[in-house]
Structure 1
Amino acid sequence: MKKSVSILLIILSICSCKEDKKTTTMPENDDTLIVKSLHNLNPSDFKKEIDGKKTKFYALTNANGLEVTFTNYGQRLITLYAPDKNGEFADIVLGPDKLEGFMEPGGAFFGATIGRYGNRIAKGQFELEGKKYSLVGNNNGNHLHGGTKGFNAFVWDVDSYSDNAIVFSRTSPDMEMGYPGNLKVIVSYELTDDNELKIDYSATTDKTTIVNLTHHSFFNLAGESSGNVNEHIMMINADAFTPVDEGLIPTGEIRKVENTAFDFRTPKPIGQDIDVDTNQLNYGKGYDHNYVLNKEPLDSEGNILAAKVLEPESGRTLEVYTNEPGVQFYSGNFLNGTYIGKSKKAYEARGSFCLETQHFPDSPNNSDFPSTVLEPGEKYHSTCIYKFGVAK
């Protein structure tokens, strides 16, 4: 009888362990869930101590085999494996194979959460409640993506972690990079069984401030290091965009895309008009512009369909949904063949695209743009959904 009880307890213990591996986080000394992994990275290469905080490596999966990996250094998305029309999986985001690669020139923004303010603020200056603020300049005298040490350069806390979801948080202290207010930020990622990576941002402040968070993955649906994205078919759901000056700062104009190279309302290859000789394309060596999203169509949760992308050979597709008024389309113009990625190949110019859901660049200096002001007692909320599929 004692022997039977012992055997039963062993069986129950094994079953319990299997369930734990599937649905719960691992102990504190082991930061990677036990999953069938598609990536070939060494998690130890993403472990380091920065500013007294430890970086770790995390993996999410869904029922269809999609896999996303992260580090809490800058909340960076490291790999994203999605299937093609033949069911073959490939990593479709650019980036390094070790944590140090994010610290190299050209690697700062790969897969990162951007803040406090995504995109550019002219001369790093703005006025709020009658007071002038000066931010740290880091882009030809302008302020870009939060400054010299934006959200991409901090180690974030991990509040919760499961097989398909992770939640990051940190408090950006008053006057960090020049921004007023202690800003408490929470960002959650969920990889759903509908093949959606759902990103939800929230923030609160104790002083009036500005905030504009976004995600900065560099996508190539044919697979990272597989050449340029000129043949990717792009649709952007926008009748207008915000033109820029030579410093890529919006002029304040909202211009119709009709009869311009910026018209992606009807799907077309990214490279079809990218070399048209216009000031707007010459300034950024291609597309690096904010699009003013149309109000419809909406998904079941009320988010706007911002864009659709198809890579014809693999059949992989990407749809982007958001509650934001804009999306920045960047065609990888400043990749120049000097940065070596995960496949040990150089990333060539236009070897990726970014679709960064956002409020408009330089909104604090343009009263006609949607406001990015956050007051004490209010809650900032932003949603970005990247939905992956295969063309039928």
Structure 2
Amino acid sequence: MNLKFKLVMALTLGVFSNSFAQMPMRPYKSTVVNEDGTVTFQYRNNNAKSVSVDVQFAGKNEMKKDERTGLWSVTLGPAAADMYPYNFVVDGVSIMDPQCEQYFPNEGFKNSLLEIPGKTALPHDIKNVPHGSMEYVNYFSKSLNYTNNALVYLPPSYYKEPNKTYPVFYLISGTTDTEEVYYKVGRVNYILDNLIAEGKAKEMIVVLPYGNPYKLLPAQPTDAMPATRFGNDVFSNDLVGDLMPYIESTYRTINDREHRAIGGFSRGGNQGLYNGLSNLDKFSYLCSYSSFTSTDIPNVYDKAKDTNSKINLFWLGVGTDDFLYGNARDYSEFLDKKGIRCVKEYTHDKFGHTWMNAKYFLDKTLQLLFNPEASKKAMDNATPTLAKTGKEQQFTPTVMARLFPRQIVSPEYGASDVTYNFKAPEATNVLFESELLSEPLAMQKDADGVWSVKVSGVANTTFKYCFIADGTKVADPNNMYLSPDKGFKYSISKAQIKDFGNVKHGIVTYNYGEGTAVYHSADCKDAPTISLIIGRDDTYESWFKVGGADDIADRLVAEGKIKSCSFYVGETALPGTKILRADDFNTWDKRSKAFEDLLLGKTVLPIVDASAFKATIDGKAVDLYTLTNGKVTVQITNYGGFIVSMLAPDRAGNYTNIVTHYNSIGEYQKYNLGMVGPALGRFANRIANAKFTLDGKEYNLTKNSREHILHGGNKGFDHVVWDVVSSDSKKLVLKCVLPDGADGFPGNLTTTLTYSLTDDNGLSIAYEATTDKPTVVNLSNHSYFNLNGTGVGDIMNHTLSVNADKITETTQDGIPTGKFLDVAGTPYDFKNDCRIGDRQMQFKGNFFPFGQRLEIPEGKVMQYDNNFCVTHKGKAVEKVATLYSPESGRVLEVWNDHPGLQVYTGARTAIALESQMYPDSPNHKEFPSTVLRPKQKYTHTCIYKMGVK
């Protein structure tokens, strides 16, 4: 594969900045919805022996492997338009779809979500209407003596109309579901957004409690499941005694029974009905989706007239194919006999006890809540309970045990150690992978097929981890905490930190329509002063769910270390804020500690961890060396001479790494697809047809770029462990010898590289080389710069100036023709500062990208990969280019003493500015000579000077 193509792939997929980074594969769609309503499922796994897909509308089906593409696939359906949970089963192990961003929040099973669009709009569709917000809240529960949490939906008008008050709907999750399920699967936010916009529902606040706070309490010695009779239990006590008072003191609510509703799905429907009927002084709207409740509630069923007078809406929905339809039917029949009025809704086509039913029921009831007239009409038109057939399914303890078998515990926390357990009896090898570890740990299998590993000293650290079963990554099926990554979802090992106690907590507001979030500490109304930038693999939830940013701020406020704060999370920063980028740190523990330092007013330097670069390669020691002058910091490894980090402040004083990089020496060895920051030699750039003639002798070289050689071949500087001649805080001197004949080049080439940091913030790279045979030499560095920070957007808004009147004309392979092109009036004219994106937009219609007239394909944006013939005025080292980011204010000047500057933009996420001789000079006598002979010394100086304006 062409090295430049590899680099474009690498830059596009962003493989550099995370220790969990995976080798990019050819992209594919894991789910394809076909015109006929069928769905094609695809999955790539070269280690798998068998793969199935288990999807709610079709059950479990085997997939077949295409040996040509390596994809396992099967087409199922057709299926009705809706959202369906699914997972892949690989060699007996269930896994989520690593290509799917949407997932099902659950305490146990791990499912991805398939969305089949309808020919007409569905209630839960994301439409172009005003969107509300979802807020994540923490509150101290006296009932639990612990901090509990909930989600709160606020309608679009909430923050726009500060004097308006709202009714409240308490909507409870089902068995094993988390408090997020009505948000991520039930889509209550989008359903309400749409209904409110269409005038079909009243504006309301919706509160999503966690229906199983038992998991927050210390482990119980009994194996019994929590009782299904609710009321005198921790959930009910917390709901009425703690959550409701918190909501009503925090939000603008209407606090009377006429403006409160309660309901839920499955167990949540049971909890909702029981608490609603037990508190008719507080609730007048009751909804149950696929559930039933106790028939023994004092002063309710035997006082039908009084009960009916207090209820505006009593709504029951269930599918006739639900496994608890018999129980739900019996309960509604019981109500009929007692004279308790209620609405019954039955479905027959939504696969029973499913979230397809839950969404359908939710859409129906939201249009009735807090609308007495509509509710009365629904109640007046209520139909009797369906007649009993004797074939109704009943929910029994046996069914409960089958559907919800007792799980093993993982993680298991000790005082400082944590044990991770994974049941996979058919697996032959299971590893434990963590972002804290340089290599996975082997797990041990017991007689029951449970694999375990104990990890020391991590009980108080939060980090991402997974299992690798026979080569397949698997999230911990027994850990409810998932990292909300865009691709594969890792499990989260939560730090065991003492609960804060009864303190005020801040609120996290998710602006789901924008993909951003804002945190405000309690009583803080100030605008955000910090921007937390998400990483390449992250979503806007990651800083909270993995990084615990809200918990950190809450704790510092509670401890009196800071007064209050507000911060923003997104892909880009808010103007004038301090900035912290996730991709500047390779673990969430480091990200969290850096955020705490930033809150405390400390300067945060995202230094790359040197321990990840300590290694022995080819018998030589490898390390990471740090140069600093107190204003800028540069990190370099003696493996390949790679520049790993360049930290420079922006106009607000924020530091970030401005060079594309990896975070460990192993990643540089394994994934260095496109020369990400190394020294280049012995010949930078291309030599045509991988050959040249010197003193009458033809030398045939290694071909590594189609028919040509690029950057010295396969055994160039980037694969060498350089000897460290000397190092201190401002200078690093490296030395290596490329042997005679390496990649076909003649002569033993002895090279010294001197990296030095100047007082005016310049990184000077001085090259010196000697040879014992006539040879050709062209040395450079291949760093990629983004002055907004690694991975932060693209460089299209950067401005660039290059002191060059001409470029070398090239073929499409980047090989010079020997001619020069005047840049004036072309997309290559950077003689004055010009926005890169503006110049690239000139690549339209007929143009000369390689010196030949070509048609640009529709929708394609050309990249720069050109040698600019820079103009020198006679000084030894002169400024030849300036790069500037108007967003960050950072400036990068390039100074050199060589005639060429290769400008390469790749996938436009960063730009390389390579000081060098002209490409293919050995085959062009008209170009400046690159010949080096014995007793001569090759020298080259390039300075990357960092500044701000």
In structure 1, give the amino acid aligned to 2:889. G
Rg comparison, structure with higher value: 2
The CA deviation at 1:103 is 2.8
Match of 1:191 in 2: 757
The CA deviation at 1:216 is 0.8
Within 5 Å, which residues of 2 pair with 1:181-220?
181-220=747-786
Match of 2:742 in 1: 176
In structure 1, give the amino acid aligned to 2:646. L
Match of 1:354 in 2: 912
The CA deviation at 1:37 is 8.3
Among candidates 877, 883, 897, match of residue 303 of structure 1: 877
Distance 1:259 1:85 in 2: 33
The CA deviation at 1:51 is 1.8
Match of 1:111 in 2: 677
Match of 2:863 in 1: 286
Distance 1:44 1:386 in 2: 26
Within 5 Å, which residues of 2 pair with 1:16-55?
38-55=605-622
**Is the Cα contact below 8 Å between 1:63 and 1:193 reproduced in 2?**
no
Q: Which has the higher contact order (CA 8 A, sep 6+)?
A: 1
SS at match of 2:645: strand
| TM-score between both structures, scaled by the size of structure 1 | 0.83
SS at match of 2:635: strand
For residues 116-170 of structure 1, the C-alpha deviation after alignment (integer angstroms, 9 at most, x for no partner) is 0000000110000000001111001110001012110110001000011100001
Distance 1:108 1:265 in 2: 28
Distance 2:717 2:792 in 1: 29
**Is the Cα contact below 8 Å between 1:95 and 1:107 reproduced in 2?**
no
**Is the Cα contact below 8 Å between 1:200 and 1:384 reproduced in 2?**
yes
Distance 1:365 1:219 in 2: 31
Distance 1:169 1:91 in 2: 26
Inter-CA distance 106–279: structure 2 relative to 1 (3 Å threshold): farther
1:381 aligns with 2:381: no
Segments of structure 2 that go 5 or more residues without pairing to the other structure are 1-602, 851-855
In structure 2, give the amino acid aligned to 1:145. H
The CA deviation at 1:184 is 0.7
SS at match of 1:204: strand
Within 5 Å, which residues of 2 pair with 1:271-350?
271-275=837-841, 276-277=843-844, 278-280=847-849, 285-296=862-873, 298=875, 302-331=876-905, 333=906, 349-350=907-908
Match of 2:629 in 1: 62
The CA deviation at 1:364 is 0.4
SS at match of 1:273: helix
The CA deviation at 1:285 is 3.5
Inter-CA distance 37–146: structure 2 relative to 1 (3 Å threshold): farther
Inter-CA distance 199–92: structure 2 relative to 1 (3 Å threshold): same
The CA deviation at 1:40 is 4.2
Inter-CA distance 37–192: structure 2 relative to 1 (3 Å threshold): farther
**Is the Cα contact below 8 Å between 1:138 and 1:144 reproduced in 2?**
yes
For residues 24-65 of structure 1, the C-alpha deviation after alignment (integer angstroms, 9 at most, x for no partner) is xxxxxxxxxxxx98234322211222222221111110032x
**Is the Cα contact below 8 Å between 1:101 and 1:107 reproduced in 2?**
no
Within 5 Å, which residues of 2 pair with 1:2-17?
none
Match of 2:810 in 1: 244
Match of 2:660 in 1: 94
For residues 186-230 of structure 1, the C-alpha deviation after alignment (integer angstroms, 9 at most, x for no partner) is 010111111010110001111100000001110000111101100
Which structure shows the higher helix fraction? 2
The CA deviation at 1:279 is 4.5
Distance 1:383 1:84 in 2: 26
Among candidates 67, 72, 80, match of residue 646 of structure 2: 80
Distance 1:105 1:67 in 2: 25
SS at match of 1:117: coil
**Is the Cα contact below 8 Å between 2:608 and 2:645 reproduced in 1?**
no
How much is the aligned-residue C-alpha RMSD, in angstroms? 1.7
Distance 1:143 1:37 in 2: 42
**Is the Cα contact below 8 Å between 1:239 and 1:258 reproduced in 2?**
yes
Distance 2:822 2:848 in 1: 16
The CA deviation at 1:368 is 0.5
Distance 1:247 1:140 in 2: 8
**Could you list the runs of 4 or more consecutive aligned residues of structure 1 that deviate by over 4 angstroms after TM superposition?**
281-284
SS at match of 2:724: strand
In structure 2, give the amino acid aligned to 1:356. E
Distance 1:154 1:38 in 2: 29
Distance 1:249 1:178 in 2: 19
| TM-score between both structures, scaled by the size of structure 2 | 0.35
SS at match of 2:767: strand
**Is the Cα contact below 8 Å between 2:613 and 2:664 reproduced in 1?**
yes
Match of 1:231 in 2: 797
SS at match of 2:849: helix
**Is the Cα contact below 8 Å between 2:686 and 2:708 reproduced in 1?**
yes
**Bigger mean CA deviation after superposition, 96-105 or 158-167:** 96-105
SS at match of 1:354: strand
**Is the Cα contact below 8 Å between 1:72 and 1:158 reproduced in 2?**
yes
Distance 1:105 1:272 in 2: 32
Distance 1:308 1:157 in 2: 33
The CA deviation at 1:380 is 0.4
Distance 1:196 1:227 in 2: 25
**Is the Cα contact below 8 Å between 2:795 and 2:909 reproduced in 1?**
yes
Distance 1:211 1:55 in 2: 26
Distance 1:387 1:38 in 2: 19
